[in-house]
Amino acid sequence: MLWRCLGMRTVQTRWKKIPAIERMNRQESKQDQQRKRKENLGRKKKQTSIVFAVLLAVYLLPGNLCLTKAEEELKLYARSAVLMDGSSGRILYGKETKEPLPMASTTKIMTCIVALEETKENMACTASEQAAHQPQVKLGMQTGETFYLKDLLYSLMLESHNDTAVCIAENVAGSVEDFAEKMNAKAREIGCEDTYYISPNGLDREDAEGVHHTTAADLALVLRYCITQSPQAEAFLEITGTAQYTFTDISGKHSYSCANHNAFLWMMDGALTGKTGFTAKAGYCYVGALQKDDRLLIVSLLACGWPGHRSWKWADTRTLMDYGLEQYHLSVLESGKTRIVPAAVENGIKNQVELIEEHRDCRLLLRRDEKVIREMQVPKVLRAPVEEGASVGIVRYRVGDMVVLAAPVRTAEGVRGKDFWYGVDAAFEKLLL
């Protein structure tokens, strides 16, 4: 069939019986035979090459590629980038997603969420000499000056003040080092695989354990936690979505004003939050989120140009967000209970037991060519006694290589085993009958 598709015809040859003498007369010399064998071999190699080329072309047709045409043509400035589905945490598009790189002031989203979760808004923060002497960009606080934590969080996230970050860390945890431990613990809790915090402000640092760094995948996960999972998600979004904020120190002697430098908030409809960053080693960095038509998209960028290319991070952010909006639609696996194939029961008073899968709502973004695959792992036989509601298996919902939902399989009822007391009860019933 393949040959017919390629426009080639097969030729069948009818063999005739020829007398022996005539066959001998028709035999060719050994040299001619060798020459023809070489010619035939050359033709076969040529035909094989043509067939391989055709098959390769067929394999590389749209639908057989690992990447879609849109993904293949996506051009980014950033060295490392991620487009994430904020609902499921699935990476929709990635470029060097797990390469460890400096993260600059995108660090401060972790500083902010740890401070929000660890303290109260009306907590007073006093500036130390170390905090007051941090390099630019800075609020300009003076040693001994006191502020409310809530006000400092606006300074931290809108203006990215480095002295503010240190002041918050010292007052929340006692020292910058102890606060960094809290940041790293939170990163592990979130599921970050290769992130290490040394400072609360993101300035380039290195210690015995390594350099201050993250990955594009981890950075997106951190922002996802801040806006969808943290008990302080609402407060985080309120702070980072504010355009202007004015406050004073607790004494009221000094007034401060902050403006939001996250230009993405005014670039696209549905922009929720984000944080910029820059250091000499990190280059321009950014992480931001957009909510539109029930789709939550998160973009993270690392090493997205150096001075002279400040706008590249905005171009990459729009490119990735537009790609997500164009290519992906919302799909919902609604919560519910599903009865599945019963399991046999060995040595039970019943021969089988009903099994139930129960899962929660799962919202995820899918391309039109993607499907959710349901994989069930349950035993065929259970040994009595079987408890009601016992977890005996699992059902996984997978898109590509990622499991987007895992649901337990439980027994719908209990099954008593044929033990000694079952035998006594059975004998007693026979006597009564």
The phi, psi pair for 361, rounded to 5°, reads: -60, 140
Q: Count H helices, E strands: the chain?
A: 13, 19
pLDDT digits (tens, 9 = 90+) for 189-247: 999 999 999 999 999 999 999 999 999 999 999 999 999 999 999 999 999 999 999 99
pLDDT at 75 over 60: yes
- What whole-number percentage of the chain has pLDDT above 90? 71
pLDDT at 324 over 50: yes
pLDDT at 334 over 70: yes
Q: Determine whether 432 is exposed, middle or buried from the number of CB atoms within 10 Å of its CB (0-12, 13-18, 19+).
A: exposed
pTM for the model: 0.78
For residue 306, the model assigns a pLDDT of 97
User: How big is the chain, counted in residues?
Assistant: 433
Whether a cis peptide bond, with omega within 30° of 0, leads into 378 is no
The CA distance from 219 to 195, in Å, is: 8
Which residues on neighbouring strands pair with residue 285, listed in sequence order?
277
Looking at every residue in the chain, the average pLDDT score rounds to 85
The CA distance from 322 to 103, in Å, is: 24
For residue 424, the model assigns a pLDDT of 59
369 or 20, higher pLDDT: 369
pLDDT digits (tens, 9 = 90+) for 231-284: 999 999 999 999 999 999 999 999 999 999 999 999 999 999 999 999 999 999
222 neighbors 110 (Cβ within 8 angstroms): yes
For residue 166, the model assigns a pLDDT of 98
For residue 121, the model assigns a pLDDT of 79
| Cα pseudo-dihedral 69, 75, 76, 80, rounded to 10 | 50
pLDDT at 329 over 80: yes
- Six-digit token pair at 263? 């230009």
- Name the most confidently modeled range: 9-13, 119-123, 194-198, 360-364: 194-198
**Alpha-carbon torsion 98, 135, 259, 250, what sign?**
positive
The CA distance from 164 to 200, in Å, is: 9
- What whole-number percentage of the chain has pLDDT above 70? 80
Alpha helix positions (H), 94-253: 108-118, 129-132, 149-154, 162-173, 176-190, 216-224, 233-240
Q: Parallel, antiparallel, or unpaired for β 336-346 and 381-383?
A: parallel
Domains with residue ranges and CATH for the chain: 80-329 (3.40.710.10), 334-411 (2.60.410.10)
The phi, psi pair for 276, rounded to 5°, reads: -90, 170
Under the banding of pLDDT at 50, 70 and 90, the label for residue 20 is: very low
Q: What is the DSSP string of 28-93?
A: PPHHHHHHHHHHHHHHHHHHHHHHHHHHHHHHTSTTSSSS-HHHHT---S-SEEEEEETTT--EEE
For residue 426, the model assigns a pLDDT of 59
Whether a cis peptide bond, with omega within 30° of 0, leads into 231 is no
The CA–CA distances, whole Å, from 2 to 5, 53, 56 equal 5, 13, 13
Distance between first and last Cα of the chain: 73
Under the banding of pLDDT at 50, 70 and 90, the label for residue 340 is: confident
243 neighbors 259 (Cβ within 8 angstroms): yes
Under the banding of pLDDT at 50, 70 and 90, the label for residue 23 is: very low
425 or 275, higher pLDDT: 275
The CA distance from 398 to 413, in Å, is: 29
CA 375 to the chain's CA centroid: 20
Helices 216-224 and 108-118 sit at what angle, rounded to 10 degrees?
Answer: 30
Under the banding of pLDDT at 50, 70 and 90, the label for residue 360 is: confident
Strand runs labelled E in 368-428: 373-377, 381-383, 391-399, 402-411
For residue 431, the model assigns a pLDDT of 66
For residue 54, the model assigns a pLDDT of 32
Residues 6+ apart with CB under 8 A from 341: 355, 378
283 or 337, higher pLDDT: 283
- Name the most confidently modeled range: 3-7, 16-20, 32-36, 59-63: 32-36
For residue 333, the model assigns a pLDDT of 86
Mean pLDDT of all residues in 343-353: 90
Which residue is it, tokens 């959710």?
372
Under the banding of pLDDT at 50, 70 and 90, the label for residue 86 is: very high
Q: Parallel, antiparallel, or unpaired for β 91-95 and 80-85?
A: antiparallel
- Among 45-54, 69-78, 384-393, the minimum mean pLDDT is found in 45-54
pLDDT digits (tens, 9 = 90+) for 135-157: 999 999 999 999 999 999 999 99
Mean pLDDT of all residues in 96-120: 97
For residue 53, the model assigns a pLDDT of 35
Give the 3-state secondary structure of residue 248.
strand
Which of 251, 34, 300 minimizes the C-alpha distance to 144?
A: 251
pLDDT at 65 over 70: no
The CA distance from 246 to 233, in Å, is: 22
- Among 42-51, 277-286, 324-333, 411-420, the minimum mean pLDDT is found in 42-51
Looking at residue 266, what DSSP letter applies? G
Under the banding of pLDDT at 50, 70 and 90, the label for residue 42 is: low
pLDDT digits (tens, 9 = 90+) for 289-300: 999 999 999 999
Which residues on neighbouring strands pair with residue 344, listed in sequence order?
352, 381
